[in-house]
Structure 1
Amino acid sequence: METFDYVIIGAGSAGCVLANRLSASGATVCLLEAGPRDRNPFIHIPAGFIKTLVNPNLNWLYKTEPGLGTAGRSIATPRGKTLGGSSSINGHIYNRGQQLDFNTWGQLGNRGWSFEEVLPYFKKSERRIGYGDDKFRGRNGELLVTDVTEPDQVSDAFIKGVVNLGIPLSQDYNGAIQEGVNYFQRTIFSGRRISAAKAFLEPAHKRKNLKILTNRHVTEIIFDKRTAIGVKYLLGGVEQEIHARKEVLLSAGAIASPQLLQVSGVGNPDLLNKIGVSTICALPGVGENLSDHYGVRLAARVRGVQTINERTRGLRLAAELTNYLVFRKGVLAQSPGVVLALCKSNKVYDRPDLQVIFAPASYKEDAAYKLDNFPGITIGSWPMRPESRGYVHALSRNMKDKPLIQPNYLKAEADQQLLLSGIKLSRQMLQTPELAKWYQEETTPGKSLQGDDELLDYARKHGTTIFHLMGTCKMGPSYDQNAVVNDELKIHGLDGIRVVDTSIIPTAHSANTNAVTIMIAEKASDMILGNQPLPAVTL
């Protein structure tokens, strides 16, 4: 049995950052990942996103429980299972979120988490290539953040049309103002995905004090009374142990982190008793407060212009393959969506509440990411800060049994109304004069659906996760009955263990989750090592 200073569970966005920063201090670190090494070529080809989302070797392939908000459907919920975690299978978008979100974290009693205090940690990890005010953007970090390098005429026209609807052109949505429309900022460089593993593990993997173990499925956290001292994991069906001298760091994500706590005796005693686990620490908030973005896409047939649909068939696909292999350019070097709009459903609001993405491609309705056979475009929208909350509950004490995941999509009336606003705004965006010369007809859901009840019914039957699960190990003070960790990410009532991933996010976060997860891990690294926090930025 080996012993390390720190044992990290999960090599996702947070785990990769922790492994780099902690091992750089000279501490001995073991990083455990249930999945394989990130050698599959589809991980590194940006357009390979579509393949990794359905690959059981790289993806946990979770499913939600049926719910009223999804018309009784289970929703496929991809989570990365390889080095880099979900940063190895996501849509590449680098989007930090609204500044006011972080101020809300601080107002909830979490010291040190206001925007001015977390901004230095966003900057620390980032190597921004392109426009950006250095007051907000990092230039010397490991994570390469670039702009779309091959804009297309349909996307250009879409942006111009949206601006003429009164939505501002965004100069930098990760800068001073997080509102407006423009091309994505992405974690892609020279036609290759920049995952957390590529950015943070690759430079550190040869350190003698860092051990990276793949295909190790952690089954239990080992406690000595109320102190975490190590973990159990499976390798080839055989259970083994690794111990931690200082801390166990749980970075398994918003689904697996609460499940692992529950099977280890940390959580709601009623649930633990149901699955036959003795309670070590009664924390009813473990697995509760689940938040996710639920979106609806609209698609349209276009004419007189090439979209990705035609560029990925027949001889054109052969040309795209050659273009990628020789120059690292073309469709295969691009993210699945290319334009981002952060919008207010009401102009009097203090910040955007709707996120919209646009792609010069369209997909078969309810098919697994299969492109239409005709030229098409797609627009998707979702409420940025949904009010609906769900839960993740272990169904047995065996980590190999997937947990019950119930997000309660659209349970809150406010989410329903905001989603309707997003659908209506999306239709306006598709029917601007700038797109008129190509726009032919709406194919999904189709112009016959107009009434609110019809559109909401469509949203329930055809909407989907945007893959941004969070909140299941909520950060908050001890007087918050649903809080699981404090503002140093230590679990209330326990020693020797912290949670470092999206599960600690206390409120629905108004952005894609990769950037914020990396920031959380950067800040956690300083806390774990006892370093002084980076100086807050004065804005």
Structure 2
Amino acid sequence: MAEYDYVIVGAGSAGCVLANRLSADRGVTVALIEAGPGDAHPYVHMPRGVGKLMAMPSHMYHYLTQPERGNAQTPDMWLRGKVVGGSSSVNGMVWVRGQPADWDDLAASAGEDWSWEHISRAYEAIEGHQLGPGPTRGGSGPVRISLPTWRTRLTEAINAAGAKMGWPVKEDVNAPDDGEGVGYMPRTIWKGKRQSAAVAFLNPVRGRANLTVITGAITDRVLFEGTRAVGIEVLRNGQREQIGARREVLLCAGAVASPGVLERSGIGDPALLERHGIPLVHANPAVGEHVSEHRALRMQWRINQPLSYNRDYEGLRLVWNVVRYYLTGEGPMSVAAIDMRAAFRSRPERNRADIQAQIGLFSWNISGPPTKSGLEREHGFCAVVNPVTPASQSGSIHIASRDPAQFPAITPGYGTAEKDRAATLAAARILRRFVQQEPLASLIERETLPGPEAQSDEDILACMDKYGSAGMHTVGSCRMGKDAASVVDPALRVRGVEGLRVIDASVMPAIPSGNTNGPVMALAWRAADLIGRG
């Protein structure tokens, strides 16, 4: 059995950061384990290749959720990366840091190591932002971040309409002020190529002799001697292999997969483990519980000018845009999934912005003739709208069998806190006022989703349930906290055992304001400091 000092399970946003930082100490050995392949596929690096990646089971997990009210009793799909770089290799490439209040709330429940004071320094270290260094923003870090170059009458009208709503037009929409604002969405794209965690953190250090990257290996369980983690067991090329960990196993499989690894390893609800014939190592019913996920209302508008991407991803235009991309690194194939961001208050008395609208220069084909791209043939734009940090935290993710290749049972728990649904209703009405502001109003023909006929609360919520989308920002399934009921302690150590930590979005008790890719990298950067402390 091969042995290493640290065994990292999952080569995603957290795992790549940890592999980089821990292997910087040439006195230790590090193994990074990934279930999927390497990140060499050209669709990974071409930003708009994501549309093709989403249909590739070789590079994506297509998890199905349980039916519930929040998805109109129709299972929806949670997509996750199955490739080196994890979901950072297949996501929409937006860069949202979260706000100081998010991290200070985490510090209140999980200790001062997670305060904004520490996390802001992590961001300064990891960001290589086009805008250069600034308050809590890094200018020379490994994650290269750029702003959209596609700026048109439509994008400038969106900014101008936001200003008329009283929202500041921000150069950096991540400015750490907890406030409202509108502006261009930063993205993990540099010179036309995706900047995944693998590109930023792993590829530059792949040559280190003390770092071993193992792909195509599905982690089944953690191995224990008594209650001490001593390695993992994986399935690779149809065979079971064991990989030893002299110091620690670091579980970075993500909020969907990490609770399953713990449960198959004997850590979880005793009744669930008994049903699957898994010997108990440590009882903790919180494993797989406390799950929170965005449910976003999709809104969109038809426009009267050719200012969207809708026609760029089909037919001869698509062929030309792919050729253009490979010749110049520019054009519609080089853009992120979202172009702009607005943050605002659902009610004036809120002490900080509690809604985000991620604005894209495209519109979905909901009811017309099918298109290969999934977009309308007419020009339009959209907004994906949700509370930045949902109050709903009652979802769950648990193993459905002992087989590590079988997907878990996922109950999303969308909108179980009525305040989330009330906030989304308020946000929909605010955005309807927003698009009535000039010069944006003159570009709009009509609203196409939810549509002008959807005026009542019931109609708007029914549209969200039926046509809404999961944010793919799952957290909470291995919740961190100072309380004994949490899954991991403030140093991310799994309670009840030794030599095992969880380091990924699953440990976050609540979604930081917006998206999770950046926050997970910052969390992992900070976690490396804690591991070094012992």
Give deviations 1:89-136, integer Å, cap 9, x for gaps.
111111111210111111114231111122111211111121552x31
Corresponding residue for residue 246 of structure 2: 245
1:420: how far off?
0.9
Q: Are positions 1:393 and 2:398 aligned together?
A: yes
Corresponding residue for residue 167 of structure 2: 167
User: For residues 81-120 of structure 1, what are the structure 2 equivalents within 5 Å?
Assistant: 81-120=82-121
443-452 or 171-180: bigger deviation: 171-180
Give the Cα–Cα distance (whole angstroms) in 2 for the partners of residues 398 and 317 of structure 1. Answer: 41
Identity over aligned residues, as a percent? 35
Corresponding residue for residue 481 of structure 2: 476
Contact 2:110 2:480 in 1 (8 A): no
Which amino acid in the other structure matches residue 173 of structure 1?
V
Which amino acid in the other structure matches residue 312 of structure 1?
Y
Corresponding residue for residue 24 of structure 1: 24
Q: Are positions 1:283 and 2:298 aligned together?
A: no
97-106 or 149-158: bigger deviation: 149-158
Give the Cα–Cα distance (whole angstroms) in 2 for the partners of residues 299 and 346 of structure 1. Answer: 22
1:434: how far off?
1.3
Q: Are positions 1:378 and 2:382 aligned together?
A: yes
Which amino acid in the other structure matches residue 330 of structure 1?
G
SS of the counterpart of 1:325?
A: helix
434-443 or 178-187: bigger deviation: 434-443
1:86: how far off?
0.4
Q: Are positions 1:62 and 2:63 aligned together?
A: yes
Corresponding residue for residue 37 of structure 2: 36
Contact 1:263 1:396 in 2 (8 A): no
1:174: how far off?
2.4
Which amino acid in the other structure matches residue 472 of structure 1?
S
Contact 1:155 1:359 in 2 (8 A): no
Give the Cα–Cα distance (whole angstroms) in 2 for the partners of residues 377 and 174 of structure 1. Answer: 22
323-332 or 186-195: bigger deviation: 323-332
SS of the counterpart of 2:207?
A: coil
Corresponding residue for residue 445 of structure 1: 450
1:369: how far off?
6.0
Match of 1:499 among 498, 502, 505: 502
Corresponding residue for residue 198 of structure 1: 199
Give the Cα–Cα distance (whole angstroms) in 2 for the partners of residues 174 and 458 of structure 1. Answer: 29
SS of the counterpart of 1:79?
A: strand
Give the Cα–Cα distance (whole angstroms) in 2 for the partners of residues 346 and 391 of structure 1. Answer: 30
Q: Are positions 1:268 and 2:269 aligned together?
A: yes
Which amino acid in the other structure matches residue 417 of structure 1?
A
Corresponding residue for residue 332 of structure 2: 331
Give the Cα–Cα distance (whole angstroms) in 1 for the partners of residues 320 and 121 of structure 2. Answer: 43
1:51: how far off?
1.8
Give deviations 1:29-83, integer Å, cap 9, x for gaps.
1100000011111111111122222221111111111112211011110011000
Corresponding residue for residue 14 of structure 2: 14
Give deviations 1:217-261, integer Å, cap 9, x for gaps.
111110111110000111111111100000000000001000110
Change beyond 3 A, Cα 1:263–1:468: same
Give the Cα–Cα distance (whole angstroms) in 2 for the partners of residues 501 and 305 of structure 1. Answer: 41
Change beyond 3 A, Cα 1:314–1:402: closer
Match of 1:419 among 411, 418, 424: 424
User: For residues 356-375 of structure 1, what are the structure 2 equivalents within 5 Å?
Assistant: 356-365=357-366, 370-375=374-379
Give the Cα–Cα distance (whole angstroms) in 2 for the partners of residues 219 and 403 of structure 1. Answer: 13
TM-score, normalised via structure 1 length? 0.95
SS of the counterpart of 2:452?
A: coil
Give the Cα–Cα distance (whole angstroms) in 1 for the partners of residues 473 and 223 of structure 2. Answer: 29
Q: Are positions 1:406 and 2:411 aligned together?
A: yes
1:306: how far off?
3.3
Give the Cα–Cα distance (whole angstroms) in 1 for the partners of residues 431 and 355 of structure 2. Answer: 10
Q: Are positions 1:231 and 2:236 aligned together?
A: no
SS of the counterpart of 1:61?
A: strand
1:491: how far off?
0.7
Which amino acid in the other structure matches residue 237 of structure 1?
G
Match of 2:441 among 411, 416, 436: 436
Give the Cα–Cα distance (whole angstroms) in 1 for the partners of residues 483 and 279 of structure 2. Answer: 22
Give the Cα–Cα distance (whole angstroms) in 2 for the partners of residues 299 and 417 of structure 1. Answer: 20
Corresponding residue for residue 258 of structure 1: 259
Corresponding residue for residue 320 of structure 1: 321
User: For residues 518-529 of structure 1, what are the structure 2 equivalents within 5 Å?
Assistant: 518-529=521-532
Q: Are positions 1:222 and 2:223 aligned together?
A: yes
Give deviations 1:293-319, integer Å, cap 9, x for gaps.
110111222123232012333443343
Corresponding residue for residue 536 of structure 1: none
Which amino acid in the other structure matches residue 488 of structure 2?
V
Contact 2:132 2:139 in 1 (8 A): no
Please report the RMSD computed on the Cα atoms of aligned residues, expressed in angstroms.
1.5
SS of the counterpart of 2:296?
A: strand
Corresponding residue for residue 150 of structure 1: 150
376-385 or 249-258: bigger deviation: 376-385
Change beyond 3 A, Cα 1:197–1:329: same
Give the Cα–Cα distance (whole angstroms) in 2 for the partners of residues 53 and 94 of structure 1. Answer: 20
Give the Cα–Cα distance (whole angstroms) in 2 for the partners of residues 162 and 301 of structure 1. Answer: 19
1:169: how far off?
1.3
Give the Cα–Cα distance (whole angstroms) in 1 for the partners of residues 127 and 209 of structure 2. Answer: 26
Which amino acid in the other structure matches residue 377 of structure 2?
N
Give the Cα–Cα distance (whole angstroms) in 2 for the partners of residues 267 and 104 of structure 1. Answer: 26
Corresponding residue for residue 454 of structure 1: 459
Which amino acid in the other structure matches residue 139 of structure 1?
G
SS of the counterpart of 2:113?
A: coil
1:176: how far off?
3.2
Change beyond 3 A, Cα 1:370–1:77: same
Give the Cα–Cα distance (whole angstroms) in 1 for the partners of residues 305 and 129 of structure 2. Answer: 36
Corresponding residue for residue 299 of structure 1: 300
Give the Cα–Cα distance (whole angstroms) in 2 for the partners of residues 340 and 131 of structure 1. Answer: 20
Contact 1:187 1:193 in 2 (8 A): yes
1:350: how far off?
1.6
Give the Cα–Cα distance (whole angstroms) in 1 for the partners of residues 481 and 373 of structure 2. Answer: 38
Corresponding residue for residue 140 of structure 1: 140
Give the Cα–Cα distance (whole angstroms) in 2 for the partners of residues 315 and 285 of structure 1. Answer: 52
Contact 1:110 1:486 in 2 (8 A): no
Give deviations 1:449-480, integer Å, cap 9, x for gaps.
1111111112111211011011111110143x
Corresponding residue for residue 347 of structure 2: 346
1:23: how far off?
0.7
SS of the counterpart of 2:386?
A: strand
Give the Cα–Cα distance (whole angstroms) in 2 for the partners of residues 72 and 369 of structure 1. Answer: 26
Change beyond 3 A, Cα 1:443–1:478: closer
SS of the counterpart of 2:49?
A: helix
